[in-house]
């Protein structure tokens, strides 16, 4: 099983990677970044959502022996989880900015 981090850990890793001019994604490990922050973050979030789906499927297989269903509710759940984690990252980053200004 792959090591999974929180979204904010992957975003922090992204910042480290692009600061050195590298273009590989810390989730899919492909050379996918364009060094365009908007496109790169969209790619990273897309990979993170795929990872969350994969983990959900693995849990279903271990629990039921198969993937039971892929429903709109599951996809909404994944979107909600990512949205919540983005908010946590934003709050963490905002707090760091506030602390740096003091």
Res 79 pLDDT > 70: yes
* Cβ contact 49:79 at 8 Å: yes
Is position 23 within any domain? Answer: yes
- What DSSP designation does 48 have? H
User: pLDDT above 70 covers what percent of the chain?
Assistant: 94
- Domain count for the chain, please give it: 1
Is position 79 within any domain? Answer: yes
Q: Give the Cα separation of 75 and 50 in Å (integer).
A: 10
Is position 77 within any domain? Answer: yes
Is position 32 within any domain? Answer: yes
Q: Record the pTM.
A: 0.81
Range of the domain at 35: 7-101
Q: Which pLDDT tens digit goes with each residue over 6-41?
A: 898 999 999 999 999 999 999 999 999 999 999 999
* Cβ contact 24:17 at 8 Å: yes
């Amino acid at each position: 099983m792959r090591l999974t981090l929180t979204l904010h850990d992957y975003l922090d890793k992204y910042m480290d990677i692009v600061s050195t001019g590298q273009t590989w994604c810390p989730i899919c490990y492909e050379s996918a970044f364009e060094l365009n922050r908007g496109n790169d973050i969209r790619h990273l979030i897309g990979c993170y959502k795929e990872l969350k789906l994969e983990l959900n499927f693995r849990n279903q297989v271990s629990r039921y022996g198969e993937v039971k269903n892929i429903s709109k509710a599951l996809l909404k759940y994944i979107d909600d989880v990512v949205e919540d984690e983005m908010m946590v990252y934003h709050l963490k980053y905002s707090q760091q900015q506030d602390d740096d200004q003091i």
